[in-house]
């Protein structure tokens, strides 16, 4: 074990989402994020990519509550790989009738929709490494 530390600190590698319908959510996130099923049980699924991204889906059932406004993660913003990828994701959200809006702010574009459980999905391009964020998006106060 080294005595030094990374100047970057820990990096996000996994996200856990509660979903209502596991099968429907697995199909949705596989298409949206280009991930593969790595492990699956009756009530949970691990989706992953070779770049290290991991998404755990945990089924709560058809009446599981979405705790919008409670303490915890409000939503996750994904960064598309390029403009074509952002367009692909936007079309996927439109096809599923979950697309709500697309807007530009501070040099980047955001596409918003919802997953099959109604959880907000935001995708942006370019990412913060190419278009640094200089202000807090109004969207995070929308609850």
> Which of 88, 75, 77, 72 lies closest to 117, judged by CA?
75
pTM to 2 decimal places: 0.84
The tens-digit pLDDT sequence of the chain (143 residues) is 556 666 778 878 899 999 999 999 999 999 999 999 999 999 999 999 999 999 999 998 776 665 555 556 777 899 999 999 999 999 999 988 788 899 998 889 999 999 998 888 899 999 998 998 888 888 777 75
* Cα 33 to chain centroid, rounded: 8
- What stretch of H or E contains 23? helix 22-33
**Residues 66, 127: Cα–Cα separation, whole Å:** 27
Question: How many CA atoms are closer than 13 Å to the CA of 47, on its beta-carbon side?
Answer: 21
For residues 106 and 133, the answer to whether their CB atoms sit within 8 Å is: yes
Strand 14-19 and strand 108-114: the pairing is: unpaired
For residues 76 and 69, the answer to whether their CB atoms sit within 8 Å is: no
Residues 6+ apart with CB under 8 A from 94: 113
Q: What is the DSSP letter of 106?
A: T
């Amino acid at each position: 074990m080294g005595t030094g530390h990374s100047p970057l600190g820990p990096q996000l590698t996994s996200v856990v989402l509660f979903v209502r319908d596991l099968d429907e959510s697995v199909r949705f996130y596989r298409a949206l994020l280009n991930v593969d099923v790595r492990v699956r049980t009756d009530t949970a699924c691990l989706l992953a990519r070779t770049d290290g991204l991991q998404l755990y889906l945990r089924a709560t059932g058809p009446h599981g509550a979405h705790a919008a406004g409670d303490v915890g993660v409000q939503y996750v913003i994904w960064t598309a790989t390029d403009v074509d990828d952002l367009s692909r994701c936007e079309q996927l959200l439109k096809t599923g009738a979950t697309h709500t809006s697309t807007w530009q702010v501070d040099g980047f574009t955001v596409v918003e929709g919802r997953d099959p459980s109604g959880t907000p999905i935001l995708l942006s391009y370019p990412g913060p490494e190419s278009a640094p964020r200089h202000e807090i998006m109004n969207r995070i106060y929308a609850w």
